[in-house]
Amino acid sequence: DSVNLPEEFDTYDPKENSSLLPYLRKRSEIIEIVGARDIIFALSQLGVCAAFSRVTNQRICFLNGSPDEVIRSLFYNKNNDSLITVSVYGSENFSALRCRTTRIEYIRRGKPDAGFPLFETESLRWPGFVEFDDVNGKVLTYSAQDSTYKVFDLKNYTLLYTISDKDVQEIKISPGIMLLIYSRKKGYIPLEILSIEDGKRLKSFRHLLHRNKKIDFIEQFNEKLLVKQDGENLQILDVTNSKITEVSSNEFVTPSAFIFLYEMQLFLTFRNRSVSVWNFRGELVTSFEDHLLWHPDCNTNSIYITSNQDLIISYCKAEPDDPSSEDNDLVASTISFLFDGRQYSRAF
């Protein structure tokens, strides 16, 4: 089956963008698309964001509020029907993240400057970050300056609690819980599970490691913990009963990205432009036919999973078996079934 292209939008407009810094006025590829009701937002690699109306199929406005603003990412907040932009500015040497929220209604009226800044008290200079958690309705910020994590309510942006511990190396978020990963010790790594709502400790434990082997990743999915070290088997730990399932390193090679399917209790892995679906018994559920991703870095921004988690829509190479495909510009939007990998549709 083929899919017809109903409309085409273009973020490039040198006349409209004449106030931006010269390099921001160049044409660049789209790295993120966000849909919010009747508006589509498109973010270019250079950091220019445009809003388009699905009703009129016309561009409404650009969201860059100043000539030196480079928008890094977008987040549609369903809780209050607003768009959050995360930006850096030339006046700050592009080193500090600045967040801003704007009601969709204002953007629809062509008034993107009617929003207001968020988290102004936080120092979000690299390697600081801000993470929006749609599942739990929370925002996690990290200030590298004082090694402090803060959790805010996504509905009204009020501060809920603070985690100040220099030994915390990383935080992973799952529905209802957070996994705190501490500095590695000799032969093990300390871990802690907190309630996402109030930050109370639910469980503390140690996970044994192979010495002198680097950790490829630690991922949390509900009560399952995925741990992989270099050259070692994947370990799937059930934190409720400490049972470990192992998957051979020959079968499971460290991926470059994950997507967790919470409804289906499955997870997707991305590696070398390929997508695979696994369950938490360590079994490969699906590999896809004719589904070679276009982007070599497996950027999950170009992946869409339907709300009932039965279809995956990807930006793929049109001729995956063509040996000259590295120079082949032909691409296709591919829709495949998640359960068996069959192709549902493809549009060139």
Give 232-268 pLDDT, tens digit per residue: 999 999 988 889 999 999 999 999 888 888 888 899 8
Q: 118, 151, 182: which is the final residue of a domain?
A: 118
As a whole number of angstroms, the distance between CA 243 and CA 143 comes to 35
**Residue indicated by tokens 């029907």:** 81
Q: Is residue 224 part of a domain?
A: no
The CATH number of residue 43's host domain is 2.40.10.480
Q: Is residue 168 part of a domain?
A: no
The Cβ of residue 287 has, within 10 Å, a number of other Cβ atoms equal to 12
Q: Is pLDDT at 154 greater than 90 in this prediction? A: yes
Determine the pLDDT at residue 202: 94
Domain count of the fold of the chain: 2
Using the 8-state DSSP alphabet, how is residue 96 labeled? B
As a whole number of angstroms, the distance between CA 193 and CA 103 comes to 34
Name the 3-class secondary structure at 56: coil
Q: Is residue 302 part of a domain?
A: yes
As a whole number of angstroms, the distance between CA 282 and CA 234 comes to 8
Q: Is residue 243 part of a domain?
A: no
The DSSP result for 190-244, as a single string, is EEEEEETTT--EEEEEEEE--TT--EEEEEEETTEEEEEETTS-EEEEETTTTEE
Q: 75, 97, 118: which is the final residue of a domain?
A: 118
Threshold 0.95, pTM exceeds: no
Q: Is residue 176 part of a domain?
A: no
Average pLDDT, integer, range 207-228: 92
Q: Is residue 137 part of a domain?
A: no
As a whole number of angstroms, the distance between CA 298 and CA 257 comes to 7
Domain range enclosing 282: 255-348
Q: Is pLDDT at 14 greater than 70 in this prediction? A: no
User: What are the tens digits of pLDDT across the range 199-209?
Assistant: 999 999 999 99
Q: Is residue 44 part of a domain?
A: yes
Q: Taking a C-beta distance cutoff of 8 angstroms, is the pair 311, 337 a contact?
A: yes
Q: Taking a C-beta distance cutoff of 8 angstroms, is the pair 262, 310 a contact?
A: no
User: What are the tens digits of pLDDT across the range 58-78?
Assistant: 999 999 988 899 999 999 999
Contacts of 321 (CB under 8 A, 6+ apart): none
Q: Is pLDDT at 328 greater than 60 in this prediction? A: no
Q: 118, 148, 182: which is the final residue of a domain?
A: 118
Name the 3-class secondary structure at 39: strand
Average pLDDT, integer, range 172-188: 93
Q: Is residue 195 part of a domain?
A: no
Q: Could you tell me which of 290, 271, 274, 277 has the C-alpha nearest to residue 348?
A: 290
